[in-house]
Structure 1
């Protein structure tokens, strides 16, 4: 398998997980709205809490996958520079305000 196709497969996997997380969130919102019409301990409310919990856990897993993918891509980039006999430039500073640019 080529390197670019393995990266594409990883990106597709992340997108599938993200889509699942979004779907869980949408279902959670629908259930919460139904629960708001019900009683505090009603079945719709319990389902809403459970769906929301699953959404939170799914989002955490997706974030973890994205971070692992980002780190793996950085390792590949550093290896490519090393193979060229060069030192990889440091990563961009992400601590700056992300909104200090114009849209």
Structure 2
């Protein structure tokens, strides 16, 4: 009888732990929390893209100014014009 009671108690404790974990998991990984985390990730991505674009434009300005100093003619903004090679 004592062994059976111990087994039942262990089973009940296991069920309580599993149920508690399921409740905790539902709370932590609720849709609202996942959406919030995704929104923060997108904000970070946008900030990184903006920083990268700013750095690219700054580098292009520096290269253009350096080419101007050595007397190289500026290229059209759209990259148009004739190519000096065949594709």
- Residues 41-69 of structure 1, C-alpha deviations (whole Å, 9 max, x = no match): x4422321221011000000010001001
Q: Mind listing any 5+ residue stretches in structure 1 that lack a counterpart?
A: 1-36, 94-103
The residue aligned with 1:52 is: 38
Q: What is the number of equivalent residue pairs in this alignment?
A: 54
The whole-number CA distance in structure 1 between the counterparts of 2:62 and 2:70 is 13
The alignment's TM-score, normalised by the length of structure 2, stands at 0.52
The alignment status of 1:88 with 2:74, answered yes or no, reads yes
Return the alpha-carbon distance in structure 1 between the equivalents of residues 48 and 61 of structure 2. 20
Runs of 5+ in structure 2 lacking a partner? Answer: 1-24, 80-87
Larger Rg belongs to = 2
Higher relative contact order (CA 8 A, sep 6+): 1
Query: What displacement does 1:81 show?
Result: 0.8
Residue 73 of structure 1 aligns with which residue? 59
- RMSD in angstroms over aligned alpha carbons? 2.1
Query: Which deviates the most, 45-54 or 69-78?
Result: 45-54
Runs of 4+ aligned residues of structure 1 deviating over 3 Å after TM superposition are 90-93
Partner deviation per Cα, 1:60-103 (whole Å, 9 max, x = no partner): 0010001001100110011111111222223675xxxxxxxxxx
What is the TM-score when the length of structure 1 is the normalising length? Answer: 0.45
